[in-house]
Structure 1
Amino acid sequence: MTCLPERRVQMRVAFIVGSLFATVMHLTEAQANPAAYAANTAADNAAAANIAAGPAADTGSNSVVDFFKKSGIRVGGWINGGATFNPSHIDGFNGPVTFGDQANRFQLNQFNIFLERAVVAQGSKWDFGGRFDVLFGTDAIFTQAYGVPAFDVNSGQPLARSNWDLDLCCASTRYYGIAIPQAYAEVYVPVGNGLNVKVGHFYTPIGYESVPAPNNFFYSHAYTMQYGEPFTHTGALGNYYINKNWMLMGGTTTGSATGGWDGGFDKQLGNWGGLAGITWTSDDLGSSANISGTYAQTSTRSNEPWGMYSIVLKHRITPNTNFVLQHDHGYAGGVLVNGVVQNAEWYGINTHTYYDITPDLSIGVRAEWFRDRDGFRVFSPGRVSAATNNQGLSYALGSGRFGNATSAPADYYAVTLGMNWKAARTLKMDWKAMKQFNVRPNVRYDAADGLHGVDYRPFGGHKDQVVLSLDFMLPF
């Protein structure tokens, strides 16, 4: 594979993002302020044609606005990018840390556009909707439907990976790609207190952190989320509220050779699994508890089990202070680890504490311990492992280079300090599109302790590292 020079890649990325961003901003303006959009569009058309704006121009502009208003369809998205500084690294990566995994450089992580019609989840009438997301950026490799890995986890046999969204673009680059993390239809069924059902490809409801950047306080992710949980599923998922305090969740998964995780539409469709959960929320919405998990056979070639559960507790300590406690535990039976077939387990605990100093400025701290008991889940660098094909070559390293990601039984420790600053609000910028502009400086410390006397150094030859990061996020 031939990789383009980095400068040319950056220019292409800037052009693509700029063009798409301008298009989507026009659509979001139409939804947010139809009258102004119609007036501006008519004026632009008149200037371009050097004629006065007439009824035809108004009709054309209003037809776009009317279509979105009447259909209930929303177009939106976000853009997220950042840079890290890691004085420890000589290989260009931040070890097993993702998604901001590239040391000492800027990366456009997520340029996500979605088309959505949300269902009206109440009342006595059926309602239909759905959502379709396209994600461009360096996070694509972690978000694609890679539930069929390059090598069978039980036998080590080379596999043809799922190609649902693996090869949509950017084969000549080492870092950028496109993922389709969500493509589902949704229906509200007016039975009992109301049942919502999704069918298709969707983000996992399991755990606390998630892939979409606007849903997370920190730029980097906990090991629990990165390596202990699925990111997406293919199948069906239902939610039902028993009452105002209790909600049940359940569904089926398919398209995966890793126990129902990150499946697609084109392989392993005979391997069905399940996911389920229950959530309790207090009357004042200040506290909640959730337990959820997945279970399936590993693949159609093996009846070995693959499952996990996650417990998430949330509590609002004061009006400005929130606390989260999470515990995950995963299990995979009969997997091949360093040439030996064995059972693998991974588990950990993490906490999050957030404090709102002002409506536009918040600080947070996250602390975590995560054990990869058998060296089966955590790889360093994470991108090199994710981008390795069934010949052992990793395009994250460039053309024709074998993947050099390492793993070992180890305990991982991490502490992250961060801030969220709504800069546009503080600076009183008038452009409405910038109101949610968020700047997130982070400081993260990681350390690894090899089990069974193993001297494991996954951070560029070191046992620990400090990473400074600064990223921005703009929902639209």
Structure 2
Amino acid sequence: MNRRKTTRVAARLYLIAGIAVIGLLCNANAWAADTSTADPATTTTKKHHHHMVTTTTTTVVANTSEQQRLDALSGQVSNLQKQTDDTTSEVKKIEAAITVATPAVAGAKPATIGEHVGLVEKDVSDIKKDLSDNLGISVHALVDAGYEHNFNQPNGNVNNIRVFDEDGFQLTQGNLHIERDGTVGFVTDLNFGQVANTLSAATHYSNTSHVGPQWFDPTQYYLTYTAPIGSGISFQAGRFVTMMGAETINTYNNLGFNESKSIIFGYGIPFTHTGVRASYTFNDYVSASVGLNNGWDDAAAFNNGGPNYEGELVLNNKDKSLSFVTNPMWGPNLPGKSDSNLGAIDEVGTWKPSFVPNLTLQTEYLYASETGPVVNGHSATWQGLAQYLVYDFTPSLESATRAEFFDDEDGARTGTAQTLWEITQTLSYKIPEVTGLLARLEYRHDNSSQNYFTNNNGLYTNGVYTGQHLWHGQDTLDANFIYAF
């Protein structure tokens, strides 16, 4: 009986133990499943004797991670797009602010930079209109300022053989032009800056004593009268710029092709004259001028009892695409020598070929000679040749190239017997936002047959300074802004 009971108890214990083992195994599987679900990136490995089973799950993680990155990138792109839109909006506001225009409502105060500029332009225009309507007077002006660098870096900022420019920052020219048209009128040009300094040092206002270098010069001031004969004979009396040369002293409506002036302009021909002139236009093809004046350069010092004779003959075709201008001048120009005369002839030809639109070709030739004991007891001769090639890429952008040769055979004009040449490249750009504003960039190379151009290197003998070192050439680069109205 006891053995049976013992057997039964043992069987029951085995049964309970088996059920417990089965329950543990089921719970273990459930725990494994829970672990896999909770962290799919976990790799689970189960071993049974020598057989290994490995299960790896990563797909869900990859999908979730890429989606998060895409969401983040999408947000960043949206932020960048918003910033771009904001920047575009600000740029449009700035463009609107600097656009030159008068206030939209009459009498309103200007609120932007452009409206301030537009209002100033309107005020100037109103003043000019009042003067023109009431007095028949026209007022114009220009300002030319910029920076020039001479690679020789000369002492004193002096650019040799240049007349209106120097090394460094400068006010090249300020000009106020006032004129009155009509049967009787007048023209006045007041210059300031480097142009005035050069002119006042080289010329006289009339027959008065020399006033010396200064930053003001009344370059032109003359009366005009138109006689009702034929198409009208125009008379001028006073001080006026010379008719000679391809280049002239700039005014609001004549800025020239290049920023710097040619050697011919600076040393070959006069700047101004004091005297009388008469001009007549015969037809569309021919016009002429004649005049009497006190001479050229330093007229009060050099004139010796006789006037100088000047003339001009202009020939051109109907549309002015081809023209030829010749300017002769002759007269006494040496103190104390009434038989010493200076004669010069300057010729300028201009061609605008129809088969190359926007191209201008211009050639100038000068020959001059002065008799008498000018240099070392004998006469002097000089001559020059200049070629201009001008092309307008657009109505706003112009390229002007000038190549020039000047032979000062006896040194009468530059102080040294030498042959000079130069080449100049100028780019001019009309800034569209402001009417009358012109930007210029220019490179120029000058060269001489002699050591003529200075730099900042001194010459020393036994430790004693004896002068500046001289070179054969100089190179300059300058940038200027010109505003004319």
- With the length of structure 2 as denominator, give the TM-score of the two structures: 0.67
Aligned to 1:395: none
Partner of 1:110: 173
State the SS of the aligned residue for 2:184.
strand
Equivalences for residues 205-244 of structure 1 within 5 A: 205-212=243-250, 214-244=254-284
Shift of 1:95: 1.5
Match of 2:408 among 372, 382, 401: 372
Residue of structure 1 aligned with 2:471, choices 448, 462, 466: 462
1:75 aligns with 2:139: yes
Please say if residues 150 and 477 of structure 2, whose CA atoms lie closer than 8 Å, have aligned partners that are also in contact.
yes
Q: How far apart, in 2, do the equivalents of 1:309 and 1:465 lie?
A: 29
Corresponding residue number in structure 2 for 1:28: none
Q: Is the Cα contact below 8 Å between 2:304 and 2:333 reproduced in 1?
A: no
Tell me if structure 2 keeps the 8 A contact 1:271–1:300: no
> What aligned pairs does 1:124-139 form with structure 2 within 5 A after superposition?
127-139=183-195
Distance 2:181 2:373 in 1: 40
Indicate if the aligned counterparts of 1:310 and 1:327 stay in contact, CA closer than 8 A: yes
User: Cα gap change, 1:63/1:207 in structure 2, threshold over 3 Å: closer, same or farther?
Assistant: closer
Which of 269, 285, 288 in structure 2 is aligned with 1:245? 285
CA contact (8 A) 2:203 2:272 kept: no
Describe the shift of the 1:62–1:84 C-alpha distance in structure 2 as closer, same or farther (beyond 3 A).
Answer: closer
Partner of 1:5: none
2:482 maps to 473
Structure 2 partner of 1:332: 370
Using the TM superposition, name which of 211-220 and 232-241 deviates more: 211-220
- Give the Cα separation in 1 of the matches to 2:176 and 2:198: 17
Partner of 1:279: 314
Could you tell me which residue of structure 2 aligns to residue 382 of structure 1? none
SS of 1:302 mapped into structure 2: coil
Q: For residues 62 and 248 of structure 1, do their structure 2 counterparts lie closer, same or farther at Cα, with a shift above 3 Å needed?
A: closer
Counterpart of 1:322, as a letter, is T
1:344 alignment partner, one of 380, 383, 391: 380
What is the Cα deviation at residue 444 of structure 1?
A: 0.5
Partner amino acid, structure 2, of 1:94: N
**CA contact under 8 A between 1:234 and 1:262: conserved in structure 2?**
no
Offset of residue 334 of structure 1: 1.8
Q: Give the superposition deviation at 1:65.
A: 5.3
Cα displacement string for residues 366-404 of structure 1 (whole angstroms, at most 9, x for unaligned residues): 0011000001102xxxxxxxxxxxxxxxxxxxxxxxxxx
Relative to structure 1, is the Cα distance of residues 265 and 347 closer, same or farther in structure 2, using a 3 angstrom cutoff?
Answer: closer
Are residues 312 and 67 of structure 1, via their aligned partners in 2, closer, same or farther at CA, if it must alter by over 3 Å?
A: closer
Equivalent position of 1:440 in the other structure: 440
Residue 192 (structure 1) shift: 1.7
- Aligned-residue offset at 1:163: 4.4
1:457 to 1:279, Cα distance in 2 relative to 1, 3 A: same
Unpaired segments ≥5 residues, structure 2: 1-100, 111-124, 456-469
Find the counterpart in structure 2 of residue 202 from structure 1: 240
Change (3 A) 1:64 1:470: closer
Match 2:323 to one of 270, 276, 288? 288
Higher relative contact order (CA 8 A, sep 6+): 1
Shift of 1:299: 4.5
Q: Secondary structure at the match of 2:265?
A: helix
Q: What is the CA distance between 1:86 and its match in structure 2?
A: 1.4
Are the counterparts in 1 of residues 204 and 210 from structure 2 also a CA contact under 8 Å? no
Q: Distance in 2 between matches of 1:410 and 1:448?
A: 7
Distance, in Å, in 2 between the alignment partners of 1:348 and 1:417 is 19
Query: Which residue pairs with 2:17 in the alignment?
Result: none
Superimposed CA distance per residue, residues 296-331 of structure 1 (whole angstroms, 9 cap, x where no aligned partner): 111562220012110000000232100000000111
Q: Supply the distance in 2 between the matched residues of 1:141 and 1:64 (Cα, whole angstroms).
A: 28
8 Å CA contact 2:453, 2:474 repeated in 1: no
Q: What are the equivalent positions in structure 2 for 1:8-407 lying under 5 Å apart?
A: 66-91=130-155, 92-100=157-165, 102-103=166-167, 105-119=168-182, 127-144=183-200, 146-147=202-203, 163=208, 166=211, 177-212=215-250, 214-254=254-294, 260-262=295-297, 270-299=305-334, 301-303=336-338, 304-317=340-353, 318-337=356-375, 340-378=376-414, 407=415
CA-to-partner distance for each residue in 1:164-216, whole Å, 9 max, x for gaps?
Answer: 7835xxx7xxxx51101100000111212221111000111111101116431
Number of aligned positions between the proteins: 349
Q: What is the TM-score with the length of structure 1 in the denominator?
A: 0.68
> What is the CA distance between 1:144 and its match in structure 2?
2.7
Preserved CA contact (<8 Å) 2:262 2:404: yes
User: 2:132 aligns to what SS in structure 1?
Assistant: helix
Q: Would the aligned equivalents of 1:444 and 1:466 in 2 still touch at CA under 8 Å?
A: yes
Query: How far apart are residue 68 of structure 1 and its match?
Result: 3.2
Q: Which blocks of at least 5 consecutive residues in structure 1 are unaligned?
A: 1-32, 45-60, 120-126, 150-160, 255-259, 379-406, 451-455
Shift of 1:250: 0.5
Q: Supply the distance in 1 between the matched residues of 2:350 and 2:321 (Cα, whole angstroms).
A: 8
SS of 1:413 mapped into structure 2:
strand
What percentage of residue pairs aligned between the two structures are identical? Answer: 24
Could you tell me how far apart the structure 1 residues matched to 2:280 and 2:190 are?
A: 28
Specify the code of the residue in structure 2 equivalent to 1:247: S
Q: Secondary structure at the match of 2:319?
A: coil
2-side partners of 1:306 and 1:253: how far apart?
A: 13
AA aligned opposite 1:421: Y
> Kindly tell me: are residues 64 and 319 of structure 1, through their superposed partners in 2, closer, same or farther at Cα, counting changes over 3 Å?
closer
Q: In 2 relative to 1, CA 319–302 (structure 1 residues): closer, same or farther, beyond 3 Å?
A: same
**Per-residue deviation, 1:162:** 5.5
